[in-house]
Structure 1
Amino acid sequence: MLRSLPKFSIIFSSTKNSRYLANATQRFISSVKIGVTTAVPIRCMSTAADDQVQRVKVLKSTDDKYGGVIVELDQPMDSTTFVSILRASILHWKQMGKKGVWIKLPIHLVGLAEGLVKEGFWFHHAEPKYLMLVYWIPESPNTIPANATHRVGIGSFLMNEKHEVLVVRENSGLFQGTGVWKFPTGVVDQGEDICVAAVREVKEETGVDSEFLEVLAFRQSHNSFFEKSDLFFLCHLRPLSSDIQMQNSEIEGAQWMPFMEYAAQPFVQKSDILKFINDICLAKIDGQYSGYTPVSTLSNFSEQQNYMYLNAGALKRSNS
């Protein structure tokens, strides 16, 4: 709900003191050297209960696609001035019928975060160089979407002509010190496709070049990383080279290992998900399992290339 706004003795004064109003308003505006405001008309109530329209400084914003506004702050300002302009801005956006307010606060203006929180804003998400805060104006249920809820990871299954699989032994993380050999794994970077991430991680950890073939399966888990959920994709890649150049910073060992030797590890035998992965890989080796291949697609909302992962063989048989 919109907080009650204090009386602006400069901005919202009665027009009876027009000379004082003009001079004081000019002093107020000239003190604001932020480069992110614009003057707009705001309707307020005078002491005589007559509607008054004054032009005040508000934060510059752009409309989002859902009835809200986005503000990207840049220039330094003192907290008191900022809060005054913020309150006028919220009143302006409320009169315009806006709903959600997004304020992108760069790291060099983090000192303004306290003022935003005291005015009712809350943290939505953070990135290395900015903090995003949000506010809901109308007295209706808040429909601002939550922050990203999932992290995406990949595991890569590569087998050579000798039926050996590429495995690594990690020197950090959950497998540190266990002696377990596992498939190369990693996290998909922002803006990176699953098929690209799988090839990149194999190259970074082992130096082996590869070609992405299919997504064989995926698993969803929860509360895996700072309360976030996790999507893990098991990927099938074809090796294009065999020489191993190990990434010493994260990997303490890498080798080509006979698949049955890998599968016989006690840790693997005690893990339900790893036994399922082994069964899927064996079925794929025997030609009894089909995964999902990436097909390039375009969206109606963007010119950016995307991938849809589908069972191309089954689709082709269905269409024929």
Structure 2
Amino acid sequence: MLAFEYNKFNGIIVNSAQLPADIDVFLAELSALLDHAKLQKKAVIWLTLSIDLAHFIAIATSQGFTFHNCLPTEVTLIFKSQAQDFVPFVPTHSLGAGGLVQNSHGEILVIREHGATTYKLPGGHIELGETIEDAVIREVLEETGIQTTFSTVLGMASTHPYRFGKSNIYIVCKLVPLSTQINIQDTHEVDDAKWILPQDYLLDANNSAFNKYLIKSLLNATGLGKSTLDLSQFSTLKHEVFLADNGLK
């Protein structure tokens, strides 16, 4: 039988590091595990296969496993004893962050991507395990060369469908510039970056109505500040909390 452990949700998690290499042995041990799960009345079995064991996928699906989620080097399948058994849902959204950066002259920082005719706020996707703060600072630096510090979350927008049937949440953050000299680092993606007065940006007919609306609405907004609460007392996980200022200290 495949090596496994129980989880607190009446499920079984197969130990991916101890899977047999032989396909016949895998089938036999998987069948034994299914019998064990039925006997113990376990609801769900989780099976993660690395890309070098992708030939096991057909075996697993023939035994009733279905796809749940995947990464570049592995796929996770599940077996449900009953159709109504609960399985935590897979991620439904990707996240992006844009930076609204305004210098001491009142100019805002904008970029134009390759192939585009319009300018927009610098920003991009938040990577796995990355905080919103770190992501937006990184993206602005990569696309413009401008170093910044995080100030507040100003707003967000949700789009569906976005990519691969999922949704996207775009988070606009206010950043404070620490430098002014533009030096594009991500030259594969960004064609131009510049400082421009907000009124000039809004008067440019080439710029999209959505980006104009964002800048017009958020330029003087206060936003949600990052909490200074020590969150380690609640959890060892990485946290970010953004709260409205209620005037209390």
TM-score by length of 1: 0.73
Query: What is the Cα deviation at residue 228 of structure 1?
Result: 0.5
Asked if the contact 2:201–2:212 (Cα under 8 Å) also holds between the matched residues in 1, the reply is no
Q: Distance in 1 between matches of 2:123 and 2:158?
A: 15
2:158 and 2:167 in contact (8 A); partners too: yes
One-letter code of the match for 1:293? G
Change (3 A) 1:94 1:302: farther
Contact 1:209 1:239 in 2 (8 A): yes
Find the counterpart in structure 2 of residue 130 from structure 1: 74
Q: Name the counterpart of 2:45.
A: 101
The SS at the match of 1:145 is coil
**How many residue pairs align between the two structures?**
246
Tell me the alpha carbon deviations over residues 96-155 of structure 1, each in whole angstroms, 9 at most, x when there is no partner. 221111001111111100000111101111111211000112x35131122110000011
Q: Is the 8 A contact 2:20 2:26 kept in 1?
A: no
Q: CA deviation at 1:73?
A: 2.4
Cα displacement string for residues 8-28 of structure 1 (whole angstroms, at most 9, x for unaligned residues): xxxxxxxxxxxxxxxxxxxxx
Q: 1:176-228: CA deviations, max 9, x gaps?
A: 2x321111020000111111111010011111100010010111111101110
SS at match of 1:224: coil
Structure 2 residue corresponding to 1:259, chosen from 192, 198, 201: 198
Q: Secondary structure of 1:192's match?
A: coil
| One of 59, 76, 82 as aligned partner of 1:115 | 59
> Radius of gyration: which is bigger?
1
For 1:262 and 1:72, the matched residues in 2 are separated by: 56
Q: Distance in 2 between matches of 1:136 and 1:297?
A: 40
Q: Within 2, Cα distance between the matches of 1:221 and 1:307? A: 23
- The question of whether the paired residues in 2 share the 8 Å contact of 1:297 and 1:306 is answered with no
CA distance in 2, matches of 1:141, 1:80: 31
| One-letter amino acid matched to 1:98 | K
* 8 Å CA contact retained: 1:153, 1:231: yes
Unaligned 5+ residue runs, structure 1?
1-57
Matched, 1:150 2:93: yes
Corresponding residue to 1:185 among 123, 126, 138? 123
Q: Distance in 1 between matches of 2:5 and 2:194?
A: 54
- Give TM-score scaled by structure 2 length: 0.92
Q: Give the secondary-structure state (helix, strand or coil) at the position aligned to 1:306.
A: coil
Structure 1 position 72, deviation (Å): 2.9
Which of 198, 204, 225 matches 2:163? 225
Contact 1:72 1:105 in 2 (8 A): no
Distance 1:291 1:179 in 2: 30
Corresponding residue number in structure 1 for 2:241:
308
In the TM superposition, residue 302 of structure 1 has moved relative to its aligned partner by 3.1
RMSD across aligned positions (CA): 1.8
Helix, strand or coil for the counterpart of 1:147? Answer: coil
Structure 2, gaps ≥5 residues long? none
Shift of 1:291: 0.4
CA deviations over 1:5-64 (Å, ceiling 9, x no partner): xxxxxxxxxxxxxxxxxxxxxxxxxxxxxxxxxxxxxxxxxxxxxxxxxxxxx1111222
Cα distance in structure 2, aligned partners of 1:281 and 1:217: 8
Amino acid at match of 1:157: L
SS in 2 for 1:242: coil
Contact 2:97-2:136 at 8 Å conserved across structures = yes
Contact 1:153 1:232 in 2 (8 A): yes
Task: Give secondary structure in 1 for the equivalent of 2:161.
Answer: strand
Match of 1:250 among 189, 192, 213: 189
Would you say 1:293 and 2:237 are equivalent positions? Answer: no
Quote the residue 2:13 is aligned against: 70
Paired residue for 2:109, among 166, 183, 186? 166
CA distance in 2, matches of 1:222, 1:191: 23
Q: Secondary structure at the match of 2:162?
A: strand
Between the aligned residues of both structures, percent identity stands at 30
